[in-house]
Structures are given as structure tokens and as C-alpha cells.
Amino acid sequence: MRPISNDLRERLVEAVKVDKLSRREAAARFKVGVSTAIRVLLIHDLTGGVEPRPQGGARWQPLNDHVETLREIVDENEDASAQEICEAFCERAGVTVSPSSIGPALRRHGLRRKKKA
């Protein structure tokens, strides 16, 4: 979903600040959601502008800051389970992560572990 135009955002702010409409009335006038009008006015009150906030982007991964620790753990015990790697990582790095985040982190950093049957 795309953000609404800055022109419409400015008209929403003007309707509430100058014309003294409620946020709900302004939303109805410009045919936008009430929550959209509330967010636009909140952004205006906080920043003084109406530009939309950035969308998406990469999320921070706690494992990214400790790749070497992760590499050492995998090198020491290639057939460790995700749970075992997670426990060792939490011990050494002092960062709590879930076992489900271990696999994607290993793939992201090109680390392999060999599972024995």
C-alpha cells in the first residue's frame, strides 16, 4: 500500500488546524481512513512536517553483530543442532536468540553445518 500524497496530508492538517474539524470529520471529507488522519496529524505534531515515514527496510538481526562467534561455534561442532548452537551462542555472546533464527543466520553468512544421520 502506498502512502497518501503530501498534498492530501497538508490538506488534512489544514482542515484540522485551520478549519477546526475533528480528525474524524477531516477523514470523512477527504475519504481517507480515520487512523490515517490521526497518524498524519501525529506526525505533523511531532515533526512539524507531513512527509511519510520510511517504509520497509532491513531489520536488525542480533546475530549479524556476532558472526565470528557463530563461526567459531559451528567450526567447533559441525553436527550441533540449532538448539545446541543457540545455547552456546547465548553463553558466549550474552545475546538471547531463538533456535529458529540460527538456520537463516547460518545461510545468510555462508556457514555450513554437517548433520550426521
Q: Express each pLDDT in 10-69 by its tens digit.
A: 999 999 999 999 999 999 999 999 999 999 999 999 999 999 887 776 676 778 888 899
The CA–CA distances, whole Å, from 88 to 45, 62, 73, 80, 91 equal 47, 15, 7, 10, 5
pLDDT band at 115 (very low <50, low <70, confident <90, very high): low
82 has a pLDDT exceeding 70 = yes
Q: Is the pLDDT of residue 113 over 80?
A: no
Measured between alpha carbons, how far is 91 from 102 in angstroms, rounded to an integer?
14
> Are 30 and 57 a contacting pair, CB within 8 Å?
no
Distance of alpha carbon 67 from alpha carbon 109, whole angstroms: 8
Q: What is residue 18's predicted lDDT score, i.e. its pLDDT?
A: 95
Q: Which of 1-15, 25-39, 71-85 has the highest mean pLDDT?
A: 25-39
